[in-house]
Amino acid sequence: MSAEKAIFTLLKASTAVTAIVGTRIMAGIIPQGTPLPAVAYNHISTVERNPTLAMNEAVTVATSRIEVAAQTKDYPTQKALLAAIRAACRNKQGVFNGITVDSVLVDTIGPDLRDDEAGIYMQTIDFKVTFKQPN
């Protein structure tokens, strides 16, 4: 859950993101009926680096892929929100919510999606978060 905490902290600290979604930044899925626009983040995968031969390190370096999904009521807001998410998270390093992050890099930007019946526009962006976790 370390990488997710770091991404949540970066999103919450971004005035551009919060200007669009307010406090509607959540883990998992955006519940049906949530006022849009909103953002959800999910853990996709984690790869830990192999330890040294001594295998006695206090921390392990890991890289997690975190997907951030933007849902809005119109296409221009979708694009503005995705740009704000990208700016909030990409190329960051430091300590976020107690997590020592070596880097946050953009991995994949998903396709434009929409649900015409529900009037929802959606797009995802994945980040690779490299961080240190205690053993």
Mean pLDDT in order along the chain per 10 residues (135 residues)? 93 98 96 95 91 70 96 97 98 93 96 94 97 84
* Residue located via tokens 């503005």: 80
Give the Cα separation of 34 and 132 in Å (integer).
Answer: 34
Tokens of 86: 């990208």
Using alpha carbons, list the distances in angstroms from residue 108 to 21, 69, 73, 113: 22, 12, 23, 15
Tokens of 89: 């998270």
What does the pLDDT look like over 47-67, one tens digit per residue?
988 766 666 677 788 999 999
Q: How many independent structural domains does the chain possess? A: 1
**Radius of gyration of the chain measured on its C-alpha atoms:** 16
Tokens of 3: 């990488």
Q: pTM for this one?
A: 0.91
Residue 25: CATH number of its domain = 3.30.2000.10
Q: What is the pLDDT of residue 135?
A: 74
Q: What is the pLDDT of residue 133?
A: 84
Q: What is the pLDDT of residue 53?
A: 61
Give the Cα separation of 39 and 123 in Å (integer).
Answer: 10
CB 43 within 8 A of CB 66: yes
Q: What is the pLDDT of residue 134?
A: 77
Q: Domain containing 72: what range?
A: 2-134
